[in-house]
Amino acid sequence: MGGSIAGLWLDDVPVLRSTPGPALQQVSAAGSYPLVPFSNRIGHATFNWAGRSHTLLPNGAPEPHAIHGVGWQRPWTVLQVDARQAHLAYNHQADAAWPFAFAAEQVFELSDQGLTLRMTLTNPSEAPMPAGLGFHPNFVKRPGSHLRLASAGRWEMGAGRLPTHRLPASGLDTDCAGLDVDHCFDGWTGSVELQDELLRIRIRSNLQRLVVFTNPARDFVAIEPVSHVNNALQLIQAKGMASDALGLIELQPSESMSAHMHIHIEHQP
């Protein structure tokens, strides 16, 4: 099931959109799943890299794009597990979904205060590859849910749910009930607060960009720490922007990149 988290509860209160493990039928309904080796969309599943054009398999029908990488749709191997920790791995061989080999690992660590996720991506090949990481936790949207985050900018969305341009944006400080957002915030401070009538949640990460997705029809809020801007591979060419300005990493042979996210949870007093 894509190295995903079926559910996360504090006592009997769901923190993430949660399903008992045996009942989870599809990764898109999971509480959280990994974004590797890229996050969000690659427009129309095509991009150029190192002078070569690549066509991927669209994997988010009915959209024509490649979305969220490939790790969330592949089986992972459990390397170690106990009551407090799980260690998973996925080794990718170049294929039609992603034309570069990579190795990925995830570590999940439970504590009395919450959950920590760590992910590492390694390039085992002899050529550089474009690379990114992210986490896709889907938090329950309850009555009174309020979201607060600080950022420097926000990428506006055009047709096809692809970013068009960046505007200055200080973040969000708003109730979630009427919120309609599907944007990447950059210059993110690495911390988000989500509160409702039952829980106080703080999400922290070493990543500098954050995708937030919800609308009034959704019963969850996706709060996704990511390493790069949506559709970064195409923006490099279309906008003439440097890859590091968009957060996209050129991962050298034998080089690794890593990310972590901590979800701190407590009951409302």
Tell me what the pLDDT averaged over the chain comes to. Answer: 96
Percentage, residues of the chain above pLDDT 90: 92
Q: Is the peptide bond before 37 cis (omega within 30 degrees of 0)?
A: yes
CA distance 255 to 257: 7
Q: Of the candidates 51, 215, 237, 30, which has an alpha carbon nearest to the alpha carbon of residue 136?
A: 30
Whether the predicted pLDDT of 160 surpasses 90: no
- What is the structure's pLDDT at 189? 96
Q: How many CA atoms lie within 13 A of 67 on its CB side?
A: 14
State mean pLDDT over 202-206: 98
Q: Which pLDDT does position 132 carry in this prediction?
A: 97
Given this model, what pLDDT does residue 243 score? 86
The 10s digit of each residue's pLDDT in 229-263 is 999 999 988 877 888 889 999 999 999 999 999 99
Distances in Å between the Cα of 150 and the Cα atoms of 171, 189, 225 are 4, 6, 13
Kindly list the domain boundaries of the chain, sorted by start residue: 9-267
Exposed e or buried b per residue across 113-128, where buried means at least 16 C-beta atoms within 10 angstroms of its C-beta: ebbbbbbbbbbbeeeb
CATH of 9-267, one of 2.70.98.10, 2.60.40.10, 3.40.50.300, 1.20.1740.10: 2.70.98.10
- What's residue 240's pLDDT? 76
Structure confidence at residue 239 (pLDDT): 74
Averaged pLDDT for residues 181-194: 97
Average pLDDT for 205-227:
98
Q: Give 94's DSSP letter.
A: P
Q: Bigger pLDDT: 269 or 90? A: 90
Residues 7-38: tens digit of each pLDDT: 999 999 999 999 988 899 999 999 999 999 99
pLDDT tens profile 56-77: 999 988 999 999 999 999 999 9
pLDDT above 80: residue 81? yes
Q: What pLDDT score was predicted for residue 237?
A: 81
What pLDDT is attached to residue 36?
98
Q: Compute the average pLDDT of residues 86-95.
A: 98
Q: What pLDDT, on a 0 to 100 scale, did the predictor assign at position 215? A: 97
What percent of the chain is predicted at pLDDT more than 70?
A: 100
Would you say 137 and 210 are in contact if contact means Cβ atoms under 8 Å apart? no
Q: List, as one string, the DSSP characters of 211-227.
A: EEEE-TT-SEEEEEEES
Question: Residue 180, SS3?
Answer: coil
